[in-house]
Amino acid sequence: MGELDLIQEIRRGSGRPGGAVKLGIGDDCAILRLPAGHEVLVTTDFSLEGRHFRRDLHPAESIGHRCLARGLSDLAAMGAKPMGAFLSLALPREMLSTARGRRWVEGFFRGLRELADRSGAPLAGGDTAESPAGLVLADITLVGSAPTGKALRRSGAKAGDLLYCTGRLGGAAAELETMFARGRMARALPEKDHPQLFPEPRLAVGTGLLRRGLATACLDLSDGLSTDLAHLCDESGVGAEVEEALLPLHPLAAQLGAERALHAALNGGEDYELLFSAPPDVRMPKALAGVPITRIGKLVRKSQGITLRRTDGRSEPLTSGGWEHFAAAKRI
Amino acid sequence: MGELDLIQEIRRGSGRPGGAVKLGIGDDCAILRLPAGHEVLVTTDFSLEGRHFRRDLHPAESIGHRCLARGLSDLAAMGAKPMGAFLSLALPREMLSTARGRRWVEGFFRGLRELADRSGAPLAGGDTAESPAGLVLADITLVGSAPTGKALRRSGAKAGDLLYCTGRLGGAAAELETMFARGRMARALPEKDHPQLFPEPRLAVGTGLLRRGLATACLDLSDGLSTDLAHLCDESGVGAEVEEALLPLHPLAAQLGAERALHAALNGGEDYELLFSAPPDVRMPKALAGVPITRIGKLVRKSQGITLRRTDGRSEPLTSGGWEHFAAAKRI
């Protein structure tokens, strides 16, 4: 497999132009069609070996899936629909010259493509290079659309709003813990119920919240509830009270015991669930697009800070202790 | 300088929302406004230490400038205007903790910002991480706009069209050769006439060609004339004849002597000039937006292949021998 083969592999992922992609790979830029009355949303996310994944622990399919999921989750958080994905991918030389390397690359694209097809996010372009450091280096850009002026933001929450999250929390960190403990790569597994290996971006929940006008503020839980809630509070100028008893723990987290489960739910990160607020008089459905919605607390005045009410009734400050699995990495 | 300082540095580059950027850094995605009657163009380009630049040879300002110039040049090639730039940047740990590192980061952003301001390409978002390999790793995404259906493409050239380029060729490779020979970093230099350190993307030429309907096909000379011409011929289904005597050599290339100058012009890459075709009855201006336009040959039937007519009248095949300064890197 030479570089041309790699590019062919990427082209396979891109499919034929259609939908929002008017012109895909092969020119200096891709061309995307924006639906009338919509505006353009853009997000970029690194997936760097040794920072965001480990090649000895994450199967290739998982790494491809997670790379795309990071960007899709940012679109979901704003209620946007994907138009196209752009992948910059640097690979170690041996991946282009050995059968084992070729299998890895095929697995990576299988994982990425499966999620891309299912999410309506065709690969529309990118860049390739030989990695300068023997490490797999990926950067994904997602371009999406939302009705003009309607995108969900971090900044619209008000004191008195209720606080909700989707799905279950702490599963990604709990599964990672079992991967570390086992110390070797998980076999390629079916994609259900693997919150670390195959997180599911909540695109249909995001567009549902936007269409039905349910949320006053929203973001995705990539860094962990404690860190991401602080972002929502900062941007909205509010405080928050989270109730431990209400947190929907992922079964994998619950197995860790109460304190470690709580830590995973608050600080684990990478769950890629949505965290959002809504006025108290909104009748929130129990589920959206098949994903459970759980009230986990409320927003309060900024001066009251961000607190966690424990199950014994005590309140304690909830400080940011988010995602640092491999080393510091920060979204801007 | 911690990571928050780095993010502040990036925010400084982004300026206030305005123009096409409705919402910049601080939410899960940026929001861009597309002008009515336009479509969205997207390109991404790696700038990886050891592949696309060397920290011991390129000053920090040059690395920031070149990182952005790569993406802007792709927009220029299609006649598009920038809406916003997105930077994913991974830095070695010491860059965030030492005064020398801080100076490097400031220099990088000074170079990037100067070109961004001048080009109307505000930094609207991105991602940051600690580099896993002690190397500076950057990926730039440019999002631009062009009138619907009007973007210049690689695929519209016809046999009989004349072939043109902007500016002078071979300068970037020639300057790099002097940098290698000197073996140490160039001092930060004024930006004029440094085709390797501060290449100038031809945005105004691209939009001029589009507006005046002059070009049948266009792309940018990033990999070198011999390689990029082959792309244009492939996509358009034509051959080409380039005349050595017509090639506008950059003065730095001309100093190398005839054969090395020719090699730099044909295969050097990184000149970021535009290569385009136009019907023979078009009256091509001698310059666009102050940049000289030179006829360098013509397009012929595909069966005639791609040839170079030497100054002595002989014709020889012109084979792709483009950009591989540091190692293989390929645009998709």
> CATH number, domain at A86?
3.30.1330.10
Residue B306 domain-assigned (yes or no) = yes
Spatial separation of the C-alpha atoms in residues A203 and A273, rounded to whole Å: 10
Same domain assignment for residues B221 and B302: yes
Nearest CA in chain A to B220: A28
C-alpha distances out from residue A44 to A41, A219, B255, Å: 11, 15, 43
Q: Do B133 and A132 touch (CB under 8 A)?
A: yes
Q: Cα-atom radius of gyration of chain A, to the nearest Å?
A: 20
Contact A135 B133 (CB under 8 A): yes
Token pair listed for B259: 């054969």
Selected for mutation to probe chain A from B139, B150, B276 (highest A CB count within 10 Å) is B139
Bridge pairing between strands A274-278 and A217-220: antiparallel
How does strand B274-278 pair with strand B306-309? unpaired
Please tell me whether residues B135 and B191 are part of one structural domain.
no
Show which of B147, B171, B193 is a domain's final residue: B147
B8, B87, B127, B148, best to mutate vs chain A, most A CBs in 10 Å: B127
Same domain, A113 and A169: no
Tokens 């209400």 locate to: A246
What is the CATH number for B302? 3.90.650.10
Residues 6+ positions from A306 with CB-CB distance below 8 Å? A229, A230, A233, A239, A240, A241, A242, A317, A318, A319
By CB atoms closer than 10 A (0-12, 13-18, 19+), residue A17 is middle
Are both A121 and A234 inside the same structural domain? no
**Residues A169, A29: one domain?**
no
Q: What is the pLDDT of residues B33-83, one digit of tens each?
A: 999 999 999 999 999 999 999 999 999 999 999 999 999 999 999 999 999
Whether residue A326 is predicted with pLDDT greater than 50 in this model: the reply is no
**Which H or E element spans position B108?**
helix B99-119
CA of B79 vs chain A CAs: smallest distance (Å):
11
* Separation in Å, CA of B300 to nearest CA in chain A: 21
Query: Does A186 share its domain with A311?
Result: yes
Cα of B260 to nearest chain A Cα, Å: 27
The pTM of the full predicted model, rounded to 2 decimals, is: 0.93
Q: Between vectors from CA B304 to CA B300 and to CA B306, what angle results, nearest 5°? A: 75
User: Which one of B11, B23, B28 makes the best mutation probe of the A interface by having the most chain A beta carbons within 10 Å?
Assistant: B28
Determine, for residues A128 and B86 on separate chains, whether the beta-carbon distance falls below 8 Å. no
Whether residue B170 sits in one domain with residue B143: no
Same domain, B221 and B280: yes
* Domain boundary pick from B147, B172, B198: B147
Q: Is residue A98 part of a domain?
A: yes
Instruction: Please report which confidence band the pLDDT of residue A9 belongs to, taking 50, 70 and 90 as the band edges.
Output: low
Q: Which residues are within 8 A (CB) of B83 and not within 5 positions of it... i.e. 6 or more apart?
A: A40, B19, B20, B21, B32, B33, B34, B40, B121, B124, B143, B144, B145
- The reply to whether B154 falls in a domain is no
Chain B residues near residue A330 by CB distance under 8 angstroms: 3-4, 7, 128-129
Classify A253 as helix, strand or coil: helix
Q: Least CB-CB distance to A332: which of B31, B51, B126?
A: B126
Domain that holds residue B313: 162-317
Q: Which residue of B has its CA nearest to A51?
A: B132
- Cβ distance of B131 and A80 shorter than 8 Å: no
In the three-class reduction of DSSP (H, G, I as helix; E, B as strand; rest coil), residue B260 is classed as helix
User: Do residues A275 and A165 lie in contact, with contact meaning Cβ atoms separated by under 8 Å?
Assistant: yes
Please give the Cα distance from A140 to B139 (Å, whole number): 9
Q: Calculate helix-pair angle for B225-236, B258-267, nearest 10 degrees.
A: 40
ipTM of the complex: 0.93
Q: What kind and span of H or E run contains B44?
A: strand B38-48
What are the pLDDT digits (tens) for B92-125?
998 888 999 999 999 999 999 999 999 999 999 9
CA-to-CA separations, A264 to A296, B110, B125, B242, in angstroms, rounded:
15, 40, 29, 64
Q: Please judge whether A141 and B74 are an interchain contact, meaning their C-beta atoms are less than 8 angstroms apart.
A: no
CB proximity list for B52: less than 8 A, separation 6 or greater: A129, B46, B66, B70, B326, B329
Query: Do B203 and B276 belong to one domain?
Result: yes
pLDDT, averaged across chain A = 91
Write out the two tokens for A59: 């199967």
B329 in a structural domain: no
Q: Do A332 and B25 count as a contact with CB atoms less than 8 A apart?
A: yes
Beta strand B162-166 with B291-301: parallel, antiparallel or unpaired?
antiparallel
The count of structural domains within chain B is 2
Residue position matching structure tokens 């123009």: B19
Decide if A332 and B7 are in contact by the 8 Å CB cutoff.
yes
Please indicate, yes or no, if residue A153 is contained in any of the structural domains.
no
DSSP labels, A96-150: HHSHHHHHHHHHHHHHHHHHHHHHT--EEEEEEEE-TTSS-EEEEEEEEEEETTT
Asked, for residue A154, whether it belongs to a domain, the answer is no
Query: Is the Cβ pair B155, A330 closer than 8 Å?
Result: no
Judge if B33 and B101 occupy the same domain.
Answer: yes
Q: What share of chain A is helix, strand, coil (3-state, %, to 5)?
A: 35, 30, 40
Structure confidence by residue, pLDDT tens digits, A61-103: 999 999 999 999 999 999 999 999 999 999 999 888 899 999 9
Contacts of A33 in chain B (CB under 8 A): 39-40
Q: pLDDT band at residue A324, thresholds of 50, 70 and 90? A: very low
* pLDDT the model gives residue A330: 39
pLDDT, average across residues A46-71:
95
Q: Which residues of A touch B73 (CB under 8 A)?
A: 28
Closest by Cβ to A40, choosing from B34, B127, B133: B34
CB burial of residue A314 (10 Å; 0-12, 13-18, 19+): exposed
User: Are A51 and A57 spatial neighbours (Cβ–Cβ below 8 Å)?
Assistant: no
Final residue before a domain boundary, out of B147, B181, B213: B147
Q: Which residues of B touch A75 (CB under 8 A)?
A: 28-29
Residues B115 and B194 in one domain: no
In a domain, residue B332? The reply is no
Name the residue facing A143 among B40, B48, B87 (closest C-beta): B40
Q: Kindly determine whether residue A39 and residue B49, on different chains, have CB atoms separated by under 8 Å.
A: no
pLDDT tens digit at each of 332 positions of chain B: 455 566 666 666 555 556 899 998 889 999 999 999 999 999 999 999 999 999 999 999 999 999 999 999 999 999 999 999 999 999 999 888 899 999 999 999 999 999 999 999 999 999 999 999 899 999 999 999 999 999 999 999 999 999 999 999 999 999 999 888 887 776 655 556 899 999 999 999 999 999 999 999 999 999 999 999 999 999 999 999 999 999 999 999 999 999 999 999 999 999 999 999 999 999 999 999 999 999 999 999 999 999 999 999 999 999 988 554 433 333 33
Tell me if A44 is assigned to some domain.
yes
* Token couple for A221: 């839980």
**Whether residues A182 and A142 fall in one domain:** no
